[in-house]
Structure 1
Amino acid sequence: MSSFSSSSKSNNTTQQQQQPQEQEQKLSHVLKYHNQTKHNFNNYARGPHGLDWANQPNPFRRYISSPLFPLLHFTPQQEQQSPFYPSLFNSLPSPKPISKSTISQFLHDSLALSAWKSTSFSTWSLRVNPSSGNLHPTEAYVISPSIESISDTPFVAHYAPKEHSLELRTQIPSGFFHKFFPPNSFLVGFSSIFWRESWKYGERGFRYCNHDVGHAIGAVSMAAASLGWDVKLLDGLGFEELKFLMGLHVFPEFENPLRAVKGKIPEIEFEHPDCVMLVFPSGGSVSEFDLDYKELSNAILDFSKLDWIGKPNSLSKEHVCWDIIYKSAEIVKKPLNLEDRLVVEPFQRSGVYSETETESFYKGLTVREVVRKRRSAVDMDGVTTMKRETFYQILSHCLPSGSEAGKKQRRQSSLPFRALPWDAEVHAALFVHRVVGLPQGLYLLVRNEDHFGELKKAMNPDFVWTKPEGCPDDLPLYELLRSDYRRVAKQLSCHQDIASDGCFSLGMLARMEPTLREKDVWMYPRLFWETGVLGQVLYLEAHAVGISATGIGCFFDDPVHQLLGLKDSTFQSLYHFTVGSPVVDKRIMSLPAYPGPGVDA
């Protein structure tokens, strides 16, 4: 095992030990937020009564007066110059050096626009990284050593997807990367604008912002892998370090009101720092590298003294503040952890159902073709079936530990889950509708086998827990009950046909309250990140085998738990998904991502 390890073990001011009473109060608030934002058959979570189109947030953040450095675009011929999609799950190619070309490819294949859509009434953009309601609360920052044709010095830049350009925010000290990180590495940071999501979804928007962070982590991990780069969350850093690293301290301080309010609240458009990831060459000699979080924190906090360029643009004229979102975000802020150890697990290949059938499963598509052609299906045909072998192959790529004989699923060491530093906490309860050779019914994919006993004890005692026919030995998939669940799946996903009209749908079950007690309440958003990474794999797998998928944020929480026999907050459903054949609306015209129309979406 190679590892970045913190060389500072003493003086752990991370977490001045919280009093048990304070921890319990924080946990109580998080559970209150989670329960208050549940949808139920007789009432939905609090949100707007209709959409205020006049104040729909601008989906593109820009920093006015920041220097803009255009990145490179790629021709259809260059689309083919990308690795064969399933090959990345087996091994990563040799790492490419950081350059304007490789940074352009990396962002083009992870966070850029993927298309413009147009009808007679409106035009809107789609992106490589999916978003709830296509609202895109996630903003991205590149913190990098000098790159020829972009900057002669190390820099922090905001990524502007509409222009596929980097907006230079500041220059940083020349020794920063050399002192703390391995050669040929850089950082990518994510922040969330809660207002963008709550404009449509109200109080539940905080959940969806964190789904989107997870999708972005998955998108970045896949794009990096195609260039031979590995990705790891620097989760020892705290909220304050992230804020100064991305220059988000320039936003006015937001004072949360005591109740939901409406009006002109421009400070609500601030960006909440979520996470930062190290992108570095795969397979390198990183085992000798130590990460001193204390010194790194001090260096980052000094970023407040740098000359930050650009004023953030305004997104809406008027706003609604759903106060519980901002209270919850405050409570789950992660502190600096000086004892955190950044472990980089050896790359673990994912399971392959059949070496001979891999080409036929994945239609010969490259990584770039898959990630850039991914779309969220709006409707599914209710007819198309999937082979059992294809189903097993898709689920094999959803496992965190990959495929290693005799080893349990637990550690997240396969692509793209290896970006996450914690053991898997999310499982999948599957409704199988149209998989040839597999009975219709309810199934469970156990993604951390240490939880098997806990899951079995918590769930309906009538579940049979048998391995389905033809299921690979190293795929921890269990049949629970045979039945036609199409009507139930639709009903549980807010009466949406799409949940019953695909080949299969699922609910992602997180081990929630025990995780928050064992680690701390800052794990709450991270559980949603893990569901987003899993959702990103499902999106890509579906498109790679020639069909489609859709994330479903609207579902009836407790009725899902009742169906499974869950009685408390030990396991909670955080995200639903459906995979099947899309119905394409031919009235909508598809246009190239670049150059796009000259008007904002």
Structure 2
Amino acid sequence: METHLGYEYQQATKYQRDAMPSRQLDMSTMPDSYREYDGPHIPLPKPNIQESLSLWDTLAKRMSIRRFSGAPLSLEIFGQLLWGTYGATRVAREKSFFFRTAPSAGGLFPVEMYVSVHRVASIESGLYHYSVPRHGLTLLKEGNFGKELAEASLSQGMLKKSAVNLIWTAVLPRTFWKYGERGIRYIYLDAGHVGQNTYLVATALGLGCCTIGAFFDDEVNQLIGVDGKSETTIYMASVGNPD
């Protein structure tokens, strides 16, 4: 078999019954499970969790859609999309820990969500960070960044035509704190859960969605302002009204 870093990583991080890694966790150094930015904050409408499509219909209808009409999302639909993707479902630990709509290995929640808004009613185009505790957006940069994201994603034109693009990063120390080198496996599993949530929520809301794994990492990292080391882009999605 040809040697690749992926194979080497998979072998090096296997659990062996007779050689399990021993890690003493220092709870005083446990990283926060979410981040907040300073800046203008936009609260989003409280999510409506009344049933629309059944789960089974949603699963059957789910597909990748790359053509968008250009019609804007309503503020209510947009807020529902973000909450369903990665919003808080309940709070614990003296109101400092938030369970999410997506599961996470060890309850560490390494994923952060950034949103490039192009066409949403009542929200100016810009790059935002999604606040889990406040279910709202913090403005990072003004402007429409669809063209830059498309160019950074191997010229996938749907990123220019979507209503919003979701950008998910991983804050690596959150998972490494507990799982060490094996944590990379769990981070990408977490991202998969978040991506599937997006597909199902978009489908239930009558929206089109397509997730994206092909992009120039450092170009996206630079655009959203993360260092690409301790926090780095791992997954993206375009969402909008289907054409």
Specify if TM > 0.5: yes
Give the CA deviation at 1:176. 4.0
Counterpart in 1 of 2:110? 137
Say whether 1:112 aligns with 2:87. yes
Q: Name the CA shift for 1:59/1:235 in 2 (closer, same or farther; >3 Å).
A: closer
Equivalent-residue separation in structure 1 for 2:42 and 2:144 (angstroms): 20
**Partners of 2:118 and 2:144 within 8 A in 1:** no
Change (3 A) 1:71 1:59: same
Tell me how far 1:206 sits from its aligned partner: 0.9
Aligned to 1:509: none
Report how far residue 139 of structure 1 moved: 0.8
Aligned to 1:209: 187
1:82 aligns with 2:55: no
CA shift digits 1:30-53 (9 cap, x unpaired) = 222211111111011x46x22110
Distance 1:31 1:129, change over 3 A: same
Give the secondary structure class of the aligned counterpart of 2:174: helix
Alignment of 1:510-549 (within 5 A): none
212, 228, 235: which one aligns with 1:275: 235
- Superposition pairs of residues 355-434 of structure 1, within 5 angstroms: none
Structure 2 SS opposite 1:233: strand
After superposition, what is the alpha-carbon deviation per residue over 1:214-263, rounded to whole angstroms, capped at 9, x for unaligned?
11111111111111122223344221232234332xx3x75xxxxxxxxx
Q: Deviations over 1:91-139 (max 9, x none)?
A: 37xx984122111011121200111246xx9974211011001100011
Label 1:122 to 1:244 Cα distance change in 2 as closer, same or farther (>3 A): closer
Residue 42 of structure 1: SS of its match in structure 2?
coil
1:62 aligns with 2:33: no
Displacement after TM superposition at 1:149 (Å): 3.0
Contact 1:242 1:276 (8 Å CA) reproduced: no
RMSD over equivalenced CA pairs, Å: 2.7
Change in 2 beyond 3 A, CA 1:150/1:211: same
**Contact 1:242 / 1:274 at 8 angstroms: preserved in 2?**
no
Deviation at 1:84, TM superposition (A): 2.0
Q: Conserved in 2, the CA contact under 8 Å of 1:146 and 1:155?
A: no
1:42 partnered with 2:18: yes
Relative to 1, partners in 2 of residues 1:184 and 1:273: Cα closer, same or farther, differing over 3 Å? Answer: closer
Relative to 1, partners in 2 of residues 1:54 and 1:32: Cα closer, same or farther, differing over 3 Å?
same
Residue number in structure 1 paired with 2:200: 222
Structure 2, gaps ≥5 residues long: 63-68, 151-156
SS at match of 2:192: helix
Query: For 1:55 and 1:211, how far apart are their aligned partners in 2?
Result: 24
Q: In 2, are the aligned partners of 1:197 and 1:209 still within 8 Å (CA)? A: yes
Trace 1:136-285 onto structure 2 (pairs within 5 A): 136-151=109-124, 154-173=125-144, 176=147, 180-181=157-158, 183=161, 185-248=163-226, 251=227, 270-282=230-242, 284=243
Q: Does the 8 Å contact 1:158/1:167 carry over to 2? A: yes
Amino acid at match of 2:88: L
Percent of aligned pairs with the same residue?
25
TM-aligned CA deviation for residue 174 of structure 1: 7.8
Contact 1:191 1:275 in 2 (8 A): yes
Mapped partners of 1:236, 1:209: distance in 2: 17
Distance 2:137 2:131 in 1: 6
Q: Is the 8 A contact 2:211 2:236 kept in 1?
A: yes
TM-score of the two chains, using structure 1 as the length reference: 0.35
Residue 114 of structure 2 contacts residue 168 of structure 2 at CA under 8 Å; is this kept in 1?
yes
Instruction: Tell me how far apart the structure 2 counterparts of residues 175 and 55 of structure 1 sit (CA, whole Å).
Output: 38
Q: Is the 8 A contact 1:141 1:157 kept in 2?
A: yes
Structure 2 distance, partners of 1:174, 1:62, is 22
The answer to whether the 8 A contact 1:242-1:275 is kept is no
* Structure 1 unaligned regions, length at least 5: 1-23, 255-269, 285-601
**Secondary structure, aligned partner of 1:54:** helix
Task: Name the structure 2 match of 1:594.
Answer: none
2:99 matched to 1:126? yes
Deviations along 1:505-539, one digit per CA (max 9) or x if unpaired, are xxxxxxxxxxxxxxxxxxxxxxxxxxxxxxxxxxx
Instruction: Give the Å deviation of 1:198.
Output: 1.0
Give the 3 Å change call, closer, same or farther, for CA 122–170 of structure 1 in structure 2. closer
What is the deviation of 1:142?
0.8
Distance 1:34 1:280, change over 3 A: same
Q: Give me the whole-angstrom Cα distance separating, in 2, the residues matched to 1:115 and 1:122.
A: 9
Aligned position for 1:585? none
Q: Which structure has the higher relative contact order (CA within 8 Å, separation 6+)?
A: 2
Partner of 1:388: none
Q: Distance between the aligned counterparts of 2:232 and 2:6, measured in 1?
A: 17
- Give the TM-score, by structure 2 length: 0.82
